[in-house]
Structure 1
Amino acid sequence: MDNKQFRVLIKYCFLKGKNTVETKTRLDAQFSDTVPGKPTIENWYAKFTRGEISTESGERSGRSKEVITDENI
């Protein structure tokens, strides 16, 4: 499973009223080798609690891919 799918499952558990420990236990039972760590689950719970309901990754600062092109080199 990819990270986006795990975020959706974490959001589902959050909306169902599960806490982070219950969510981690539930995900471990189904996807034992690829589950995100407890800090990641806690981070997403904190975002959902603040009202950030999107499961998309946020923008990251840094150099964009367009900066390095053959014409610039």
Structure 2
Amino acid sequence: MRENTVEARTWLDAEFPDIASGKSTTKDWNAKFRRGEMSTDDGERSGRPKDVITDENIKTIHKVILNDRKLKLNEIADTLKISTVLVYHIIHEYLGMGKLCAKWVPRELIFDQKSRRVDDSE
């Protein structure tokens, strides 16, 4: 790295004009390099770990939804004693489902499922 933050920032802007990091990031990296740290990765952060997203909870939520597709997020969250935000995250990201006409359905239906839904609605 360069001698000071200003030189480092000037060099980064010249070498990588489209992807250079911000001023505060350059300042933090420069301070880390002076202390002898050579990693630019983020370190451990304080806060609550996401230990609620487990295979067991994902399977349980999937079973609950398959038993009653009209359940609301807060009802599922109350059943499992976890937050509605995490239930929403599990349903959308891990199970790939969304709400459609007040029912939880997979987001990507195969052709047969789509045609069956059209026939059922008619």
Q: Which TM-score band (shorter chain)? A: 0.5 to 0.7
* Displacement of 1:63: 4.4
Matches within 5 A, 1:32-71: 32-64=17-49, 67-71=52-56
**Structure number with bigger Rg:** 2
* Displacement of 1:54: 3.4
* AA aligned opposite 1:19: N
Q: Which has the higher contact order (CA 8 A, sep 6+)?
A: 1
Unaligned 5+ segments in structure 1 are: 1-12
Partner SS for 2:56: coil
* Displacement of 1:53: 3.4
Which residue in the other structure is 2:6 paired with?
21
Distance 1:56 1:40 in 2: 11
Superimposed CA distance per residue, residues 24-73 of structure 1 (whole angstroms, 9 cap, x where no aligned partner): 11111111011011111111122223333334431223444554123126
Distance 2:39 2:55 in 1: 36
Unaligned 5+ segments in structure 2 are: 58-79, 81-122
Name whichever structure is richer in strand by fraction.
2
- The CA RMSD measured in Å over matched residues stands at 2.2
TM-score after normalising by structure 1: 0.57
Report percent identity of matched pairs: 60
Distance 1:52 1:31 in 2: 23
